[in-house]
Amino acid sequence: MNLRFFRRFVLSVLFVAFPLFAQQVHIKIIETTDTHGAIFPYDFTNLKPLKHSLAQIYAYVKEQRKDASQSVLLFSNGDILQGTPVVYYYNFEVPQKPHLYAKVMNFMKYDVGTVGNHDIEPGHDVYDRFRKEIHFPWLAANAVREDNGEPYFQPYQTFNVKGVKIAVLGLITPGIPNWLPKILWSGMFFDDMVNAAKKWVKIIEEKEKPDILIGLFHAGVDLNYGGSSEVYMNENASQAVAEEVPGFDLVFVGHDHHGWNYKVANETTKDSVAILGGTSSARVFGVADFYYNLSRHNLDSLNTELVDSKNYKPDSVFMQTFKPQFDSVKNYVEQPLGTFTKSVDSRNALFGESEFVDLVHFVQLKLTGAQISFAAPLSMHAKIDSGEIIVGDMFKLYHYENYLYTMRLKGSEIKKALEYAAAMWFNQMKSEDDRLLNFEYDKNGKIKYSERYHSPVLKGRFYNFETAAGINYQIDVTKPAGERVEIFSLSDGTPFDTTAFYTVALNSYRGNGGGGHLTKGVGIPKNELSKRLIKSSKRDFRFLMMKWIEKQQTITPPFFGNWKIVPEKWVEKAAKRDYELMFGNEK
């Protein structure tokens, strides 16, 4: 029995023997997670209003703080510094100015936060500066300094709320080295969540002796989400911590954008642990409402719920306070870059070659001089119309702040990477009536639908549907996985040699092992990938594309016609059916 529960047991016995007037403290904790820069109820990419934002969550927070019968704490669970033009603008375009997101979080009076993987993604200059500007602790106990073994960020924080001592342990998903280049997290490494929790819970119990222990974990709960059910170093080990590490009363989760509200039992103590976490982009946030009995030193009740921000009006004081920054970002995203002579649509990229992805290929090849390019659609519902192109359009075309890599890959490795993508992307067709895309099916053989989006669920994620430019090839979907890709030649007519090395342009996520194409698909050990790197851009690829378009001014998005899916008649019919299933009559 750990110290805290022994203390509670003794006090409960004393309470029975010597009844006291039960003193209860009412505490409410509000958790936002994966807000990704959704400060305002406005979409700066598509230039239209939104129904969700921090401005609306703040209206709820203000309302709760007016209730004198309860004490309110506001937590952030990470992934705040990437995802919208708002944070991109303050991360990179005006780094000399105070960061808007820091000002907003200070205005909202956040009490504590945990660092997310997308907060590491902007790099040291951004998150080190941001940490100095916020007025609350930023936690990540398992982000460890390489030089002395101490946490790079603060590991935990305690609060004394009307005599109730609350300890909050922060953990970050340890999957960061699988997605981001070392330069972004230099000087640190990421420890396994379960191991880190065991270490720090012991320290917290012995040093702080809290009444309540809360986990604030930027990680999801499904161990299979990242493709592996192994607990060690799993990117989504929040539930595993709750089950394997005694002491937690409540664990806030995030990272997977799912929205969770349920309970599990700790394997050792058999005590119930609440699991709670919102979705993303300030849509749905978590609220934990409980009473703590100071006489018994017991958590008398704990109610948890998920709240939708669209049910609240944006706070007028919030909107007025940050109107100058809103106007600055709006002016930024409306800046013209050049002209497209035809439209591009990401939806087409699910069913074969498309101008949407070929434009990315084209620019990658131009900027690097590589022989071959790898790219996948980073959006599923993005369309850029012909005509004037503005900065905001580039966030549709390229969603993430990936760097541009040039790597050395052998011909056989290029084929394996494309086979890996094709295996997750396409169904094996036995007739022209079969599905083209690789959908998830339930036990009754029916296609699964997303609870959140009410759309069919694909086995693979679209941003892993890798294609190539610079080579001529086909994918035969009648063949089994691993035997579908046939490469005929380089696109200049030169024979393709499986034993020769080629220069390949690709983004840093893929080049660092993201998606598993180069590690699982090709078989390159993770620690060997850096040896294949020839060069990396110093700025993100979206920025490079913007500058390239500004220089060119008029762009005709290319269609290379260098690859196809066969048999073509089957594919044409199946693609039409699957398009209607995925998108209805959208055009």
Summarize pLDDT for 148-175 with one digit per residue, the tens: 999 999 999 999 999 999 999 999 999 9
Summarize pLDDT for 549-562 with one digit per residue, the tens: 999 999 999 999 99
Q: Are 375 and 364 in contact (CB under 8 A)?
A: yes
Nearest residue to 302 (alpha-carbon basis) of 292, 289, 314: 289
E-strand spans in 173-270? 188-190, 212-218, 250-252, 260-265
Q: Residue 585's pLDDT is what?
A: 67
Summarize pLDDT for 397-446 with one digit per residue, the tens: 999 999 999 999 999 999 999 999 999 999 999 999 999 999 999 999 99
CA distance 549 to 471: 25
Q: Are 108 and 171 in contact (CB under 8 A)?
A: no
| Per-residue tokens: 427 | 């169904």
Residue 221 has pLDDT above 60, yes or no: yes
| Per-residue tokens: 256 | 């997977």
Quote the Cα angle for 357-360-364, to 5°: 145
Residue 15 has pLDDT above 60, yes or no: no
Summarize pLDDT for 370-398 with one digit per residue, the tens: 999 999 999 999 999 999 999 999 999 99
In what helix (H) or strand (E) does residue 99 lie, and over which residues does it extend? Answer: none
CA distance 534 to 538: 13
Residue 259 has pLDDT above 50, yes or no: yes
Q: Residue 300's pLDDT is what?
A: 85
Q: Residue 449's pLDDT is what?
A: 94
Q: Are 337 and 375 in contact (CB under 8 A)?
A: no
φ, ψ of residue 52 to 5 degrees: the values are -140, 145
Pick the CATH number of 342-583 from 3.90.870.10, 3.90.780.10, 3.10.180.10, 3.50.50.60: 3.90.780.10
In single-letter form, the type of residue at position 296 comes to R
E-strand spans in 496-558? 501-507, 533-540, 554-555
In what helix (H) or strand (E) does residue 368 lie, and over which residues does it extend? Answer: helix 355-368
Place of tokens 């030169």: 494
Summarize pLDDT for 100-137 with one digit per residue, the tens: 999 999 999 999 999 999 999 999 999 999 999 999 99
How sure is the predictor about 17, in pLDDT bands with cuts at 50, 70 and 90? very low
User: Mean pLDDT across the stretch 8-29?
Assistant: 61
Q: Are 475 and 544 in contact (CB under 8 A)?
A: no
Summarize pLDDT for 27-39 with one digit per residue, the tens: 999 999 999 999 9
Nearest residue to 177 (alpha-carbon basis) of 168, 188, 165: 188
Q: Residue 108's pLDDT is what?
A: 98
Mean pLDDT of the chain: 95
Residue 16 has pLDDT above 50, yes or no: no
The topology (CATH level 3) of 3-313 is Purple Acid Phosphatase; chain A, domain 2 (3.60.21)
Q: Residue 559's pLDDT is what?
A: 98
Domain-by-domain residue ranges, the chain? 3-313, 342-583
Q: Residue 19's pLDDT is what?
A: 40
Quote the Cα angle for 107-110-113, to 5°: 135
Q: Residue 307's pLDDT is what?
A: 98
CA 291 → CA 28, 161, 232, 278, distances in Å?
9, 12, 35, 22
